Amino acid sequence: MAAVSLRQIKKAFSGFYTLHGIDLEIADGEFVVFVGPSGCGKSTLLRTIAGLEDITDGEMQIDGIRVNELPPVKRGVSMVFQSYALYPHMSVFENMAFGLKLAGMKKDEYTPLVDKVAKVLQIEHLLGRQPKALSGGQRQRVAIGRALVQKPKVFLFDEPLSNLDASLRVQMRIEIARLHRELKNTMIYVTHDQTEAMTLADRIVVLRAGKIEQVGTPIELYHQPDNLFVAGFIGSPKMNTLAATVSRIEDGVVTVALKDGTPISLTIDAGDAQVGDEVVVGVRPEHLFRAENGVNQIKGQILATEQLGEATMLYLDVAGMSDTFVARMPALFKSSGEQQILQFKAEHGYLFRADGTAFRRLFPLAE
Ligand code: ATP
> Would the pLDDT of 367 be above 50?
no
User: If you compute the radius of gyration of the chain from its CA atoms, what whole number of angstroms results?
Assistant: 24
Domain ranges of the chain: 4-231, 237-352
Determine phi and psi for 214, rounding to 5 degrees. -165, 145
Closest ligand 1 atom to 53 CA = 27
Residue of 10, 16, 18, 156 with the most ligand 1 atoms within 8 Å of its CB, for mutation = 18
Closest ligand 1 atom to 47 CA = 11
Half-sphere exposure for 327 (CA within 13 Å, toward CB):
30
> What is the DSSP secondary-structure string of 253-272?
EEEEEETT--EEEE-B--TT
- The pairs formed by 25-29 with CB atoms below 8 angstroms and a separation of 24 or more are 26/186, 26/188, 27/3, 27/186, 28/1, 28/2, 28/3, 28/186, 29/1, 29/184, 29/185, 29/186
The CATH T-level fold of domain 237-352 is OB fold (Dihydrolipoamide Acetyltransferase, E2P) (2.40.50)
Instruction: Please tell me the residue having the least CA distance from ligand 1 atom 10.
Output: 43
Measured from the CB, is residue 312 less than 6 Å from ligand 1? no
pLDDT for 366 equals 45
Measured from the CB, is residue 37 less than 6 Å from ligand 1? no
Q: How confident is the model at residue 363 (pLDDT cuts 50, 70, 90)?
A: confident
Measured from the CB, is residue 40 less than 6 Å from ligand 1? yes
Q: How confident is the model at residue 196 (pLDDT cuts 50, 70, 90)?
A: very high
How far is the centre of ligand 1, averaged over its atoms, from the C-alpha of 210 (Å)?
A: 10
Measured from the CB, is residue 38 less than 6 Å from ligand 1? yes
Average pLDDT over residues 237-258: 95
The CATH T-level fold of domain 4-231 is Rossmann fold (3.40.50)
How much of the chain, in percent, has pLDDT values that exceed 70? 99
Least confident of 63-72, 159-168, 225-234: 159-168
**What pTM was estimated for this model as a whole?**
0.91
Average pLDDT over residues 84-112: 92
> Would the pLDDT of 3 be above 80?
yes
Instruction: Please tell me the residue having the least CA distance from ligand 1 atom 18.
Output: 39
Closest ligand 1 atom to 210 CA = 14
- Nearest CA to 283 among 338, 215, 228? 228
pLDDT for 297 equals 94
- Nearest CA to 177 among 153, 165, 195? 195
